[in-house]
Structure 1
Amino acid sequence: MITADDFKFHPRDPADPHWTETIFVIFSVPEAGVSGNLYVLARPNLGICHSSIEIHKGMCFHPWQIHHNDSQMHLPCPEDFSDFTLENGLSFKAFNERNSRFTYKSLDGACEVDLSFRAICDPFDPHDPAQVPALGGGQVDGYDGWNNGHMESRGRIEGSLLLRGRRYAIRCVDGMDKSWGPRRDWGNKAASWVHVDLDGETGAFLVFGLGFENKELRYGPFKYGFLAIDGERRPIVYASMTAKRSDMLVTRADVRFEDDRGNVYTARGSTVAAAPWYNFNPSSAAYQTLMRWESDHGVGYSHIADFSGLNFLSEGMADEFAQ
């Protein structure tokens, strides 16, 4: 079970240089086609952290098209991961396991973010057998960051974004996560982190493995997930997803999932904004897509993020060496 203490640094072997803790939130302004995220990766035993803030509008196929990209390595690690301010201008405070606040002001003053996160159901622990029935304990192939301590949360995100002199109101429903444990990422695997917002009230979080078939990415197998409905969190026992892409970015997606009560949900997603996120981790790339989901419940907006190791991409996409 996730508690407020899980936002702090966890007990650890102080001699382990690979101990890592992360915090991540994703947000959007759908009516303006704006998508963004805030991320911190901390190595408290080494006294350093890395932070990345990425914001884009519409379709961005290359890094130079992204509208704000602030990635800084080897910042001093905070003493308390539940309440901190970094030298890059990012601050975070967890009030409890469900409510938190992020603020950010870039060093050049060109970008400011102020948002609150309020979970709409209890945070999800993929290593709790009661929350991932019959799914093998929620293991994601090759990803230490997801296979040690982990929390996923779905919530209402409200606040404001100021970017290059223009202010936007943030009001969306999307995801936040926290991870902790020893971590050696070298980029040999991939997985997809998916939020499906059906109508602003009902939605799901899903994790899929990723694999290549004739240089085309395919989703599967389904690893774990949950349904948020009427303020309650229900396990998801099955899910599938297919997608069309342009230069690795999703342009359309179809998803189907079933909860533990036998209720089946389907949704079709079309892309509002997308960009490659190349600097959250030197070993990996993330292809982040804001989707407009249509279903029998209505219309909602939330994100797909395909996290792909760079070596995984090379093995699946690179041509053979010329003889």
Structure 2
Amino acid sequence: MITVDDFGFHPCDPTDRSWTETLFVIFSVPEAGISGNLYTLARPNLGICHSSIEIHKGMCFHPWQIHHNDAQMHLVCPDKFDDFTLENGLSFKAHNARDSEFSYNSLDGKCQLKLSFEAVCDPFDPHDPDQVPSLGKGTVAGYDGWNNGHMESKGRIRGSLTLRGKTYAVDCVDGMDKSWGPRRDWGNKGATWVQIDLGEGLSAFLVLGLSFENKEVRYGPFNYGFLAIGGERVPIVSASMTAQRSDMLVTRADVRFEDDQGNEYHARGTTIAAGPWYNFNPSSAAFQTLMRWESGTRVGYSHIADFAGLSYLSEGMSDNFANELDQ
């Protein structure tokens, strides 16, 4: 069971230089087509951390189109991870296992954020057999960050964003996660992190594998996930997803999933904002898309984030020039 203590630094071997703890939250202003995230990766045994704040509006295909991109490496690691302020202007405080707050004031004064996160159900532990009916599906091939200590939470995010002199109200339902454990990232795998909001107290979270076939992205297998229904968390036992894309950015998605009671769901998503996120980790890239989800008469807004190690991405998508070198 996830508790407020899991937001702090966990006990570890002080000689393990690979020990890593991360914190990530994603948010949006759907009516303005704005998508953003806040990310921190700390290596307490090295005394350093990396933090990235990324905000974009509409479709952005290249890094220079992102509207606010603040990624700073080798910041001083905070003494605590459940209540900290970093040198880049990002602050976080966990009030309990479900409720927390973030704030950010960019060093150049062009961006300010103040967000509260209120979970819509209890946080999810993918390594708890009571929460994942088939625990064998609770691992993500090649990803230490998801296969060691891990928490996923879905919540209502409220607050304000001021960017380049204009202020927006933030009120969305989306995801936050926390990870901890030994971590040696070298960019050899991929996975997708899917948040589905359908309004009226119904939302879902899914993790599926990601692979390439003839330079096309394929999703699967389903690893784990849950539904939040009226404040209760319900296990998802199977899921599938297909998508259309422009370059690596999803433009449309079709997701089907089933809960542990045999109830089946079908959601269709259309992208209203998207951008490549190249600087949350030197070994990887993410392709973040804000979706307008529909299922029957239900409508909501939340994100897909496709994660791919750079080595894995090159292997699946780059042209093969080996034959040219041999000629």
Normalising by structure 2, we get a TM-score of: 0.98
Is 1:65 aligned to 2:65, yes or no?
yes
Matched with 2:298 is: 298
Q: CA deviation at 1:200?
A: 4.7
Where do 1:1-323 residues align within 5 Å? 1-136=1-136, 138-321=138-321, 322-323=324-325
- Verify the 8 A CA contact 2:137 2:222 in the aligned structure 1: no
Q: Return the alpha-carbon distance in structure 1 between the equivalents of residues 119 and 137 of structure 2.
A: 23
- Verify the 8 A CA contact 1:24 1:38 in the aligned structure 2: yes
Q: Return the alpha-carbon distance in structure 2 between the equivalents of residues 36 and 19 of structure 1.
A: 27
- Verify the 8 A CA contact 1:128 1:137 in the aligned structure 2: no
Deviations, residues 121-151 of structure 1 (Å, cap 9, x unaligned): 0000000011111240510000000000000
Q: Return the alpha-carbon distance in structure 2 between the equivalents of residues 271 and 95 of structure 1.
A: 33
Q: CA deviation at 1:318?
A: 1.2
Q: CA deviation at 1:112?
A: 0.3
Q: CA deviation at 1:296?
A: 2.1
Deviations, residues 143-197 of structure 1 (Å, cap 9, x unaligned): 0000000000000000000000100000000000000000000000000000011
Among all aligned residue pairs of Structure 1 and Structure 2, give the percentage whose two residues are the same amino acid. Answer: 78
Runs ≥4 residues deviating over 3 A? none
- Verify the 8 A CA contact 1:277 1:285 in the aligned structure 2: yes
- Verify the 8 A CA contact 1:28 1:34 in the aligned structure 2: yes
Q: Return the alpha-carbon distance in structure 2 between the equivalents of residues 72 and 283 of structure 1.
A: 15
Q: CA deviation at 1:198?
A: 1.1
What are structure 1's unaligned runs of at least 5 residues? none
Normalising by structure 1, we get a TM-score of: 0.99
AA matched with 1:199: G
SS in 2 for 1:320: coil
- Verify the 8 A CA contact 1:127 1:137 in the aligned structure 2: no
AA matched with 1:57: K
Root mean square deviation of aligned Cα: 0.7
